[in-house]
């Protein structure tokens, strides 16, 4: 073949992304060729396709591929690649919780693929992401693949990403031993690109003395902010639900007028960026007697479920966060269809076909609900055995390359 023809053929297969510096359509900047051999002539795939393939690989594989060559390590470590990979992997979430076989043994962070549960398939334990830790820790939140671990005795926190075996440094103590927990929560401040923890504690020796503190990972210090004028409604209201940059709790507030005084149940919302709180109204229930308000997060929407008139279990979703008018009734199930009282059942995940996974808070048993037929399916033969402190330690989380 004449030299001119060979040169023309080589140029034809050279992607624009092979240039010294260019940008992929996902916003990922490539500064070196992606061929592991470093020889462009031996790469058979366009760079765009290589990036798309890598974006869809599990984290465990990507961690190994970072060792192949500098160009792959640079690409996989790129914050834009990490962000895009997170967006894709969020479609395949995992169920994460703390597991222990004996109280004397360390807890383990274990994860299971969530979607196989809908087919009644016992999901394999993700042993590659297992991490052992002392029994004094709770998981108090999950965000972008990071788990926030709270030491309930020493009042300090740290982050872990089981997918990449990442562990942050432990924070300083928020308070001393004479304080006890009232509220806590973990979330992400998108504006400032910071992960934050909120902790509200009460002095054991003086119940009227309350302290509210915020910790920002990366700043390594706790900040005191004005106290909330609220009271949690029960043990399942202590842990804040993170939605749209806000932590949320079910709370009660005394409303006093000239002629009466009454207790109102509402949602307390804390804005992680502004570090201010506001109140959100619950959906109207038309004078029905309601019991056991419980917050949850489903499809990135804040939701609330409760019993009404001791005849039905009702589930609502706030379609647009902060807009009270967007409350939409999602499910209503007669109580006689439940094997156990529904006040201890919460929605976990919903598929596009209308199948909703529910879980019993106390028995850790899964139940399927069909939005199309209104039927409950108790045939799932899987439950979370050995789960530690259910109300704090069951979370939906996706694999990610995220670290601090």
pLDDT, tens digit (0-9, with 9 covering 90-100), for 370-389: 999 999 888 776 666 555 45
**pTM of the predicted structure, to 2 decimals:** 0.85
Closest to 164 measured CA to CA, from 150, 188, 144: 144
Using DSSP bridges, classify how beta strands 246-256 and 241-243 pair: parallel, antiparallel or unpaired: antiparallel
| Domains defined for the chain, CATH in brackets | 3-88 (no CATH), 90-397 (2.120.10)
Instruction: Report the DSSP beta bridge partners of residue 285.
Output: none
Could you give the C-alpha distances from 195 to 190, 296, 373, in angstroms and in order? 9, 20, 41
pLDDT, tens digit (0-9, with 9 covering 90-100), for 141-178: 999 999 999 998 899 999 999 899 999 999 999 999 99
For 60, phi then psi, to 5°, come to -55, -40
What confidence score (pLDDT) does residue 377 get?
87
Closest to 267 measured CA to CA, from 244, 253, 250: 250
> Residue 215 pLDDT more than 60?
yes
With contact defined as beta carbons under 8 Å apart, do 396 and 244 qualify? no
Using the 8-state DSSP alphabet, how is residue 391 labeled? Answer: H
- The residue length of the chain stands at 404
pLDDT, tens digit (0-9, with 9 covering 90-100), for 234-257: 655 789 999 999 999 998 888 887
CA distance 325 to 47: 47
CA distance 200 to 218: 21
């Amino acid at each position: 073949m004449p030299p001119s023809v060979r040169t023309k053929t080589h140029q034809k297969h050279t992607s624009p992304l092979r240039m010294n510096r260019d940008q992929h359509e996902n916003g990922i900047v490539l500064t070196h060729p992606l061929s592991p051999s470093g020889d462009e002539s031996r790469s058979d795939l366009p760079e765009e396709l290589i990036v798309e393939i890598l974006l869809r690989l599990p984290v465990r594989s990507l961690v190994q591929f970072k060792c192949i060559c500098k160009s792959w390590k640079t690409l996989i470590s790129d914050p834009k690649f990490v962000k895009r990979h997170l967006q894709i992997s969020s479609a395949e979430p995992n169920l994460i919780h703390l597991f222990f076989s004996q109280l004397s043994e360390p807890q383990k962070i274990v994860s299971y693929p969530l979607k196989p549960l809908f087919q009644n398939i016992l999901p394999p334990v993700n042993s590659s992401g297992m991490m052992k830790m002392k029994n004094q820790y709770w998981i108090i939140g999950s965000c972008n693949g990071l788990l926030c671990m709270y030491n309930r005795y020493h009042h300090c926190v740290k982050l872990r990403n089981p997918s990449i075996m990442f562990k942050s440094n432990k924070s300083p103590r928020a308070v001393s031993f004479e304080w006890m927990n009232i509220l806590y929560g973990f979330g992400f401040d998108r504006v400032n690109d910071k992960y934050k923890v909120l902790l509200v504690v009460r002095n054991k020796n003086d119940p009227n003395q309350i302290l509210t503190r915020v910790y920002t990972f990366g700043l390594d210090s706790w900040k005191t902010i004005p106290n909330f004028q609220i009271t949690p409604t029960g043990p399942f209201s202590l842990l804040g639900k993170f939605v749209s940059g806000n932590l949320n709790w079910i709370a009660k507030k005394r409303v006093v007028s000239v002629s009466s005084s009454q207790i109102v149940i509402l949602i307390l919302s804390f804005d992680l960026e502004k570090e201010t709180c506001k109140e959100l109204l619950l959906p109207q229930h038309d004078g029905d007697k309601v019991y056991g308000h419980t917050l949850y997060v489903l499809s990135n929407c804040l939701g609330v479920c409760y019993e009404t008139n001791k005849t039905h279990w009702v589930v609502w979703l706030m379609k647009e966060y902060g807009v009270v008018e967007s409350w939409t009734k999602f499910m209503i199930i007669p109580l006689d269809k439940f094997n156990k009282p529904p006040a201890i059942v919460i929605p976990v995940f919903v598929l596009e076909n209308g199948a909703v996974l529910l879980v019993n808070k106390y028995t850790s048993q899964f139940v399927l609900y069909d939005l199309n037929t209104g039927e409950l399916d108790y045939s799932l033969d899987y439950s979370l055995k050995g789960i530690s402190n259910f109300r704090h330690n069951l979370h939906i989380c996706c694999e990610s390359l995220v670290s601090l």
